[in-house]
Structure 1
Amino acid sequence: MADTTPAGYDPGLYNADLAPVPPARRDWTWLNMATVWMGMVHNIVVYEAAAGLMALGFSAWECLEVVAVAYIVLFLAMWFNARAGTRYGIPFCVLIRSAFGPSGAQVPVLLRGFCAIFWFSVQSYAATQAVDAILSTLISGWGSLDISFLGMRAHMWLAMALIWALHAWIAGHGVHRIRNFELVAGPLVIAIGLLATIWALRVGHGPGPLFAQPSRLHGGAFWSAFALGVTGMIGIWATFAVNIPDLSRFVRSERDQVIGQAIGLPVTALVFTPMGIITTSATMILFGRPIWNPVELLLTLNHPVITVLGGATLVLATLSVNVVANIMPAAYDLMNLMPRRLNFDRASSLVLVLGVFFVPWMWFDDAASIYQVLNVVGGLLGPVTGIMLADFYLVRRQMLDIPALYRRGDHYDGRGGWNPPALVAFAAGGVLASAGQFLPALSGISALSWFVGVATGAGIYLALSPRQLPERVNESVSPSGA
């Protein structure tokens, strides 16, 4: 790659894809932001999350209450954390240098990148199952390709290769083409979901037996499970609460990002969750048991047209969430690690390669492991969210010296590139929030791990950080397009 680093900037901290987006190129509207979120919220993991809530003992209506609280909290966290991206046009991996220092920032950036690749792998394998179902329907003898390699059969390897190729094709068209893809994919997925819901309402002659199922939780047990459910739902998107500037940097105004996220996040989630519950209710009537896995449902219905169209919808839903929520942030995080060697295209290709090494087929059906990962992720990324909010709003007072974020030895450098208050707050918050996963005596913390992480990270960071900005930062701030 040709070196286009501006004079005075460190080439180890800068490349064209990490540079602030100029105001003229911040052209995403509230509609773009809303459809991006529509595409992300409609995915297999979120669809099946309602099953996890009902397994805890909630009624269908209580599930909606849990979802409402979780997504409103997420919306508020993302609204405030997105502001720096919209105001300054910088991605998460650059913004985080303000709190952690240019070298210290690699710690949360690598954690976020790991999580993004993990979720890319999980979502892609779910889509692989859908592709396998489609090809088994269309091609006689497809399932007979049963030679096993590294724990997975040949026909699944071929289906996975096709899914990986589709991701590469979409991501290879760049960020602005991704926006156009989501403009179609998000509304299309919800339209197909509505058709499935109408079918389910006809089968069940109403919402179905799941909505008639009473709650099994009361008193203290209810509130304990409620906290656990809210934290689990937040855990699905805890990674994005951190790196929302990766998207908001392309939005033309604060108003657009707020309206777009309000429509695309809590509103869409509250529409999508009952869709999943109603559709699963219909499976209880037809098959005598609830089927929450959409791929299993397609195979059980055993109708070629439904399998092909339904499978294609699942693939589209997975592509829409993976490209924006996982490949894009992971690519930025990898670029931040090696800006001189990686641009967006190279980094996104590397994400695809690394995703294979997570071998999701080895543990995909182990729901307990996935939920444990969710809780640990929420516990570790909660402090990062708290530190970012405390740094931008209370320590920096929403004023950033953008050129200094791309230089070493400046006032964001801390001690040799590491800012001790952020590192101490991150470590303490992560340990406290995750302690319940490993120490039975502290298991109650697990129900509020993300909240504990946010509060601890923010509190310790504020206690250790100076209250006043250096005078030169205030004088040099000139946010572009603010």
Structure 2
Amino acid sequence: MDSNSNRIINPDPSLYNEDLAPVPKEKRNWGWGSYSMLWMGMIHNIVSYELAGSLIAMGMSTWQALAAVILSNVALIVAIWFNSAAGTKYGLPFPVLIRASFGYKGAHLPVMIRAFVAIFWFSVQAYIGSKAVGAVISVVYPGWVSIGEYTFWGMGLNDWIAFGTFWLLHAWVISHGMERVRRFELWAGPLVIVLALGLVYWALKVAHGFGPIFSVQSKFSGGDFWKSFFLAVTGMIGAFATLILNIPDLTRFSKSQKDQIIGQAVGLPIMMTFFGLMSIIITVGTTIAFGKPITDPVALLLQFKSQPIVVLLGAFALLIATLSVNVVANVVSPAYDLMNLMPSKLNFVKAGIISIVIGVFFAPWLWFTNANSIFTLAGAVGGTLGPVAGIMIVDYFWVRKCQYDLNSFFVKEGQYTYRNGWNPRAYVAMALGVVVALIGLVVPSLQSLYTYNWFLGIAVGGLSYYFLMRSYQIQSVPTLVEEEVSFK
């Protein structure tokens, strides 16, 4: 490899195609504003709303719920910043970068685990978003509910029409590639903010000001509170665990490290805390207005049936917001992951369509109940993927000292060959991290550990990898000449 360029010399066709190759400097045109809007689109969605709102339904006070939102976002942005650096520097996606720590063959397993987790979340978001589609149709077609009498595979005909419509919208966005995704995010995020602000105004009017909203008393005390608090924090982190890993898929298009750092800081912790606060205020308002917390925003909108325009515009905003997060968080990532398996046969569009087809078979309508159950599920996801994030971060910053051999990512006889393409040390570290993170689910006496599953997973996975790799001889690599600001 020429150390002054991103040119790959004699790449192996089984490891390389144009979508997996380094993004050329001239095509890295995402500024900090792009990342701010990108995150606004990803976090302003129904699942994020339900996760924040359900903290009130669990019994937390407004202040406790807000604290959980803030802590989860601080942890998220730190992990995301660290794992964004290599993607920005080398212009490479997650399934390529992970070859450095797991080997070019060994990378397939964590990549596919992460891919199927993303597809799983796609199915959940698609199902939830289809409810917004149904709400829109119900306003313009009074007989919408009646056609639900015809059922198939657990859903009525009306729900299948709504789900199919929403699925086709995903296919349309994906078919236009990554640049269409970026442009779509520029207006999808702000749209739902308008809806949320309208609902906040309604909640404050119902509650007669901020005083009653922030006077909600907690149902927890002592150890019970801290257990619920950290379970909620890890659950909210788990909901974005896939993005911690595949964030290089997005930051590989960044103009500089500075752009992705500033843009993500504005878009994630600041805007997510603001959105979380709005969700909490609205949920408290529903408790005052209806005598019980309503954490589902579509169900809340349907309380305003006497004002069809409110339901119509609100459901449309939720539909667009959910579509935006689903494409970026749960389709872009598995698309790159599937391309990594068959780079000579798949491109971004083909792999993205395959991902959303697979997503249908998760059939969330058969088991999805409410946001409270998502905390345990999201926590398990975070506990599984946390160790992989820890390994990637430690490999880049402390094992490789921020220097990768670019050409070795695309050849079978390079630095990332290890033992016939597998790095056993990475697998041992991953196994240790997953066991420690999830053991509380199966061993009652260690149940308290599960409360901190993501934190334990990323720490144990990363530290184990560091100590296991100390005996491994890392070859020196040429320094990649960059025009952008250093992350360090």
Instruction: Give the equivalent residue in structure 1 for 2:266.
Output: 263
Alignment correspondent of 1:158 = 161
Per-residue CA distance 1:210-255 (angstroms, 9 max, x = gap): 5321123333333333222221111111111111111111111111
8 Å CA contact retained: 1:425, 1:457: yes
Tell me how far apart the structure 2 counterparts of residues 72 and 279 of structure 1 sit (CA, whole Å): 23
- What is the aligned counterpart of 1:112 among 99, 105, 114? 114
List per-residue Cα deviations over 1:54-107 (Å, max 9, x = no partner): 344321111111111110111011111100011110000000000000111011
In structure 1, C-alpha distance between the alignment counterparts of 2:189 and 2:181, rounded to whole Å? 12
Asked if residue 311 in structure 1 is aligned to residue 320 in structure 2, the reply is: no
Change over 3 Å in CA distance of 1:450–1:185 after alignment to 2? same
**Could you tell me which residue of structure 1 aligns to residue 4 of structure 2?**
none
- Counterpart Cα distance in 1 of 2:246 and 2:10: 27
| Secondary structure, counterpart of 1:16 in structure 2 | coil
Match of 2:73 in 1: 71
Q: For 1:105 and 1:418, locate their aligned partners in 2 and report how far apart those are by CA, in whole Å.
A: 8
Aligned length: 476
Q: Spell out the pairing of 1:177-196 with structure 2 (5 A cutoff).
A: 177-196=180-199
For 2:172, the aligned partner's letter is W
CA distance in structure 2 between the aligned counterparts of 1:10 and 1:103, rounded to whole angstroms: 13
The separation in 2 between residues aligned to 1:208 and 1:361, in whole angstroms, is 39
Q: Spell out, residue by residue over 1:393-435, the C-alpha distance to the aligned partner (whole angstroms, 9 max, x if none).
A: 1110000011100111211111111001101111111112111
Aligned counterpart, 2:458: 454
Match of 1:212 in 2: 215
| Coordinate RMSD, CA, aligned | 1.7
User: How far apart, CA to CA, are the structure 2 residues paired with 1:353 and 1:186?
Assistant: 25
1:337 aligns with 2:369: no
Residue 416 (structure 1) aligned to one of 407, 415, 420: 420
TM-aligned CA deviation for residue 172 of structure 1: 1.3
Change (3 A) 1:219 1:135: same
Post-superposition shift, 1:340? 1.2
1:252 maps to: 255
Cα offsets for 1:302-322 (capped at 9, x unmatched): 131111111101101101111
**8 Å CA contact retained: 2:68, 2:233:** yes
The offset of 1:170, in angstroms, is: 1.2
**Cα distance per residue 1:6-64 (max 9 Å; x no partner):** 65211111111111101111110110000000111111111111233234432111111
**Partner Cα distance (1:347, 1:132) in 2:** 28
Report the alpha carbon displacement of residue 282 of structure 1 after superposing the two structures with TM: 2.6
Q: What is the aligned partner in structure 2 of residue 399 from structure 1? A: 403
Q: Secondary structure at the match of 1:58?
A: coil
| 2:94 matches 1:92 | yes
1:88–1:479 CA contact under 8 A, matched in 2: no
The one-letter code of the counterpart of 1:99 is: S
- Between the aligned residues of both structures, percent identity stands at 48
Tell me if 1:123 matches 2:133: no
C-alpha distance 134-119 of structure 1, shift in aligned 2 (>3 A)? same
Q: Which residue of 1 aligns with 2:178?
A: 175
Shift in CA distance, 366/271, structure 1 to aligned 2, threshold 3 Å:
closer
Q: 2:85 aligns with which of 55, 76, 83?
A: 83
- 1:441 offset after TM fit, Å? 1.2
Query: Which residues in structure 2 correspond to 1:313-462 (within 5 Å)?
Result: 313-365=317-369, 367=371, 369-462=373-466
Which range is displaced more, 370-379 or 326-335? Answer: 370-379
Deviates more, 1:435-444 or 1:54-63: 54-63
Task: Give 1:368 deviation, angstroms.
Answer: 5.7
SS in 2 for 1:141: helix
CA distance in 1, matches of 2:264, 2:48: 17
Question: Which 4+ residue blocks in structure 1 deviate beyond 4 angstroms?
Answer: 366-369, 479-482
Provide the rounded CA distance (Å) in 2 between the counterparts of 1:167 and 1:109.
Answer: 22
1:273 aligns with 2:276: yes
Q: Secondary structure at the match of 2:402?
A: coil
Select the residue among 54, 57, 61 that pairs with 2:56. Answer: 54
* 1:30 matched residue in structure 2: 32
Query: Which letter maps to 2:83?
Result: N
Instruction: Decide whether the 8 Å contact of 2:207 with 2:213 is kept in 1.
Output: no
Matches within 5 A, 1:291-302: 291-302=294-305
Q: If the length of structure 1 is used for normalisation, what is the TM-score?
A: 0.95
Q: 2:468 aligned with 1:464, yes or no?
A: yes
- CA 1:340–1:479: 2 relative to 1, 3 Å: farther
Query: Which amino acid is the alignment partner of residue 125 of structure 2?
Result: Q
Cα 1:291–1:52 shift into 2, 3 Å: closer
The answer on whether the counterparts of 2:384 and 2:434 sit within 8 Å (CA) in structure 1 is yes
Match of 1:45 in 2: 47
Worse overlay, 296-305 or 361-370: 361-370
Residue 161 of structure 1: how far off its partner (Å): 0.9
User: Is contact 2:441–2:447 with CA below 8 Å preserved after alignment?
Assistant: yes
Structure 1's unaligned 5+ residue stretches are: none
